[in-house]
Structure 1
């Protein structure tokens, strides 16, 4: 390396500006966040957000706030200008406002083409200022209403490396939708309207009623399931308000837990964990409630400057705040008598549990009669947590005296009145287990002899190399995934539903449906949408039961992330991976010996038997050498003794 290449040098201002902008402006949603915060600080009663192509091509945020004079708007696009701070002490005390009008505009203008049209309240003439790459191009008088409209086009046009990492249009808009939703929920007294590609996504009333705002954004079904927080437990918070959902109004991700600190939307694991923990066992694993929580915190006790975009905060009394939030929500749920009508996946309520040999079948049948059809049951039983099982065993190893040869099929569906009966794994004292012949020979899997089940979740096997554990859900999921892929590889056969399935979607879910409508049609789902209500009339023939609403909703949520170059085929593959979860046998399910052998044989026939479609392992092995080490069979002197 030459001396010149290793020399310490000062970066030119343009490069510094672009680096600084990248810390704040990560994607179109970052721009929307800054501009919406500015509008709220400008005392706006109405805020309209217009987005084209997910915000990659155009973003426009208009408000009816105080507006700016020509002199003010000229200053606002300069570096290190703000209408919020007066001294360092303001920053150290914790700023009570949201956006820094000048700071945001300068930062956004450094990586885009920017046009600001503004008129102060009571002013006679407005001003339009255009900016490109941080440089002012023109300042002209303009006829416009009072308030400010900021239009951003060609985001990252001068930083192609950043633009390259933007996701596809639907993904970027989903982030924008989330940001606008969060601020609309935090400010029910402000009328918000969000448009994408000229079509209204949602609009709120702005009448100060937060439940009405929830209705506008999430729909009637969710709004009915929300209850207000009326009594706050003792703790360091000055106050806490908002709504939480009943235990059955849930989704497969935590996207719908919205947290605000002194009116500012923030991400905080402390609050999210407290919310979920407050529900205890009323929530199935990896199901998340809806929540809109506004925490009133003394400004000096929270640090809002731990994140460049002020999206995260640090609490001074984190543990005490978490306990106060959890106690408040738990009390709210108890006060409203919100007892779940069905037990979470893999668990039974006390009055449903009967600990006795052979009782698993009766418990399962009783649970099925309470929770509806097998399809609906498997829908509740599977979600994000099905792909990341962490259930604990609850019933131990059971033995049945029933000698019927009928076993549980691999796909978990009943094939007859005695489908759940069969020879279960023997108790530990069953000596014949050690003398049984070797299991079947496999092509991809090692030769295995089934020993039993652990916690009704893992199949325990012996191989020549050591101990083998098979995750029964991950294994069955892989089998279903490859079966679905094979059946959908050719021309998709469809079947009409006797009773169409209707979904009431949130604003976000409606946008996702629009984005993936082609992919769903490719799979064989025929659906029509009016507003936020979707009617599914036809499904692929491979799904031989009515599609439960939660399945489609969760599958759509899983499709949020992706690369801009994703094809319809790639999207379909993601959906198939999610759909394979639902019919797969879950953890905490007692299986017969025959059904385990069938499952292992089907897994052996897969192209990739070692991972589920989401990448989780299906099989793990503990080598005999590791077992020997664990039991310290190599201690000095052992070699001279008998094994």
Structure 2
């Protein structure tokens, strides 16, 4: 081989058209992606009014018109070329923090490479005509003068017309529009000083006033009921614990105004609509137990942070951000939201955790109390405990929350006596030996609520054939902590790190020597107890099994519902119609899912654009659903991203059954009696598919003996046995 000869290779450079279409997939995933890019361009152009119009969920037409700065002919020609932008100069701008919503210089070029794109624009202060540019499949086909108002109008026709595979995998019109609505809503709330409107298939969905009033913007997109339930959050500087956030502001809803999905958690960092686990966890932590399981508030929250403390360039569509200290952000958001809720009297038994918060009682091993606030401090929310005193064995209900305030405790001495006669115990304030601690811990798990006559309530298996109904008769409230967990941490001998070894015991506190329960579908199981009052711990011949009690009961209820609804849904007519106000996206979804709802027993008539009158509701597992749950069902439909083919009425009805099965099911953090556990397992064993809940989550996780031994490295030489 001579020096000027090159070896043969199959590696070659792709042509520009192919590169453009591949790259478009990172920026334009669906119609909502194009709407987001165009809407951000309008806001960056200092528009005071932005009108978004879509047809067929955005697949046929997207039109974004603004009254912003506008562009000249030279600007338009440059704007559709790849990686051209007026918003950053180079890498140093990324490092110091991006001040604009868009900055990649890809939007118009990539949208135009997979659609027929038309742009009309005229600079705000220019005289004469504007410019019209047509860009199809990545090529400029015409540029000519056009009579148009100041600002910019972008039309996207036939999105993905030249990439049929991508167009084929678009979801239903309702689902695609839900994504469009989410994008426009997020930016409408983030910019209350801009008048933003959204129109779908010729019908105006919402329009904000642009008067700078966030509450008014919430009213436009969520309705009067939600807007009236929102309370302000405004914390900065000394109001916040140490961390990167400079301020936290916005609106959050009363705990009772909530939905079953995260659809309405709108969070922003430096004006950019983003998602961040630390922010969401901080919000939910602030509400604590005021929200039931899997319930979410309405939130419009703005976080301001120095540019060098957050990275916005971690996602192709800038959906996510990364903080340099997630834990500190979580604490700051929690403190800001909690303070607002406390100020409006919407939280119980918790103190603000900002820098100015009073100290909380803390117990050290051996009974030493530190950081105790003054006894006359009215803001103190924690019960002051002192284990140094030799106190008698104080007994109370096993369901008592030992961290609640004295003011919250309304139990009378007669009620306490009744619980004592039922055998209900709580941890003593004195240390006890490990055997007594273990017995008390196990006993607390099997305790059931006492009846009014002082006798313990029994497992009422005859009341209903639902395992969840059986379990509720002996269940502790899901908002209360496990007494067993308190026992295990407080009733050890002083100075001892570990308790003495104990025998395996059942939920009832008996030594676990009973035979395993045999099942047809499930493996033979011996129930040992509960872990965090959420998972059933069982022994098998080959190892251990953890069973998610909520997923298990959900599967049982789902299959019962399928049988009950196989012929005709059980429905209950209401004495008089109940009017429900819907959010903008729920109202739009109502028309799409109306047939599926009626198939299952929800009948409703539209009163106006945002209100429906519910006349009939499903009767589920001997319980009539509340009309308000129709909103939850719509919210879950909106949040879901249905697979291709899942838009049929039957598929939607089946999904609805899965959601309905969740409502009456045993929740996590619920203590169960041994009898109700066995009933649940027997009902689960009778299911066609006992191994997953209707939403696809696993019901049980099995650890075989080999895996357990491997984890403990029992095969290490000299360590067998």
TM-score range, shorter chain: 0.7 to 0.9
Could you tell me how far apart the structure 2 residues matched to 1:299 and 1:544 are? 56
> Does the alignment pair 1:327 with 2:314?
no
Contact 1:38 1:101 in 2 (8 A): no
Could you tell me how far apart the structure 2 residues matched to 1:252 and 1:286 are? 6
Matched length: 600
1:603 equivalent in structure 2 = 684
Q: CA deviation at 1:607?
A: 1.2
Shift of the 410–340 alpha-carbon distance from structure 1 to 2, 3 Å rule, reads farther
1:116 equivalent in structure 2 = 119
1:614 equivalent in structure 2 = 695
2:558 equivalent in structure 1 = 481
How is 1:237-256 mapped onto 2 (pairs within 5 angstroms)? Answer: 237-256=245-264
1:215 equivalent in structure 2 = 219
Q: CA deviation at 1:585?
A: 2.6
> When the two structures are superposed, what TM-score results if normalisation uses the length of structure 1?
0.82
Aligned match of 2:667 in 581, 586, 609? 586
Tell me which moved more, 625-634 or 526-535: 625-634
CA deviation string 1:107-157 (max 9, x = no partner) = 211111101122232432132221101111222332332221111011112
Aligned match of 1:71 in 67, 70, 74? 74
1:510 equivalent in structure 2 = 587
Shift of the 78–524 alpha-carbon distance from structure 1 to 2, 3 Å rule, reads same
How is 1:218-617 mapped onto 2 (pairs within 5 angstroms)? Answer: 218-232=222-236, 233-234=239-240, 235-339=243-347, 350=404, 351=408, 396-398=445-447, 406-407=460-461, 409-411=464-466, 430=510, 434=513, 442-448=519-525, 456-459=533-536, 469-529=546-606, 530-542=608-620, 544-549=622-627, 551-559=629-637, 560-566=640-646, 567-617=648-698
Q: Secondary structure at the match of 2:281?
A: helix
Could you tell me how far apart the structure 2 residues matched to 1:62 and 1:280 are? 43
Shift of the 360–230 alpha-carbon distance from structure 1 to 2, 3 Å rule, reads farther
2:356 equivalent in structure 1 = none
Tell me which moved more, 319-328 or 555-564: 319-328
Contact 1:126 1:141 in 2 (8 A): yes
Q: Secondary structure at the match of 2:662?
A: coil
Shift of the 182–460 alpha-carbon distance from structure 1 to 2, 3 Å rule, reads closer
Shift of the 588–37 alpha-carbon distance from structure 1 to 2, 3 Å rule, reads closer
Aligned match of 1:28 in 27, 31, 41? 31
Contact 2:516 2:526 in 1 (8 A): yes
Q: Secondary structure at the match of 2:140?
A: strand
Q: Secondary structure at the match of 1:338?
A: coil
> Does the alignment pair 1:155 with 2:168?
no
Could you tell me how far apart the structure 1 residues matched to 2:325 and 2:584 are? 36
> Does the alignment pair 1:125 with 2:129?
yes
Could you tell me how far apart the structure 2 residues matched to 1:361 and 1:178 are? 56
2:3 equivalent in structure 1 = none
Could you tell me how far apart the structure 1 residues matched to 2:33 and 2:81 are? 19
2:200 equivalent in structure 1 = 196
Shift of the 395–70 alpha-carbon distance from structure 1 to 2, 3 Å rule, reads farther
Could you tell me how far apart the structure 2 residues matched to 1:147 and 1:403 are? 71
Contact 2:229 2:254 in 1 (8 A): yes
Q: CA deviation at 1:176?
A: 0.9
Tell me which moved more, 276-285 or 622-631: 622-631
CA deviation string 1:168-195 (max 9, x = no partner) = 2222111111110110011001111111
Q: CA deviation at 1:482?
A: 0.9
Contact 1:396 1:455 in 2 (8 A): no
Q: Secondary structure at the match of 2:551?
A: helix
Shift of the 572–394 alpha-carbon distance from structure 1 to 2, 3 Å rule, reads farther
Shift of the 205–450 alpha-carbon distance from structure 1 to 2, 3 Å rule, reads same
Q: Secondary structure at the match of 2:288?
A: helix
Q: CA deviation at 1:318?
A: 4.5
Contact 1:68 1:148 in 2 (8 A): yes
Shift of the 164–393 alpha-carbon distance from structure 1 to 2, 3 Å rule, reads farther
CA deviation string 1:582-640 (max 9, x = no partner) = 1123334444555444433322222112222122333455556777889999999999x
Per chain length, whose mean CA-contact separation is higher, i.e. which structure has more relative contact order (CA < 8 Å, sep 6+)?
A: 1
Could you tell me how far apart the structure 2 residues matched to 1:360 and 1:500 are? 47
Q: CA deviation at 1:403?
A: 8.9
2:147 equivalent in structure 1 = 143
CA deviation string 1:37-81 (max 9, x = no partner) = 111122211111111111111111111222223332222222333
Contact 2:207 2:220 in 1 (8 A): yes
Could you tell me how far apart the structure 2 residues matched to 1:453 and 1:92 are? 50
Could you tell me how far apart the structure 2 residues matched to 1:327 and 1:446 are? 47
Contact 2:78 2:84 in 1 (8 A): yes
Contact 1:411 1:585 in 2 (8 A): no
Q: CA deviation at 1:394?
A: 12
Q: RMSD of the alignment, in Å?
A: 3.9
Q: CA deviation at 1:204?
A: 0.7
Contact 1:410 1:599 in 2 (8 A): no
Shift of the 474–172 alpha-carbon distance from structure 1 to 2, 3 Å rule, reads same
Tell me which moved more, 616-625 or 270-279: 616-625
Could you tell me how far apart the structure 1 residues matched to 2:442 and 2:214 are? 42
Q: CA deviation at 1:259?
A: 2.1
Contact 1:458 1:472 in 2 (8 A): yes
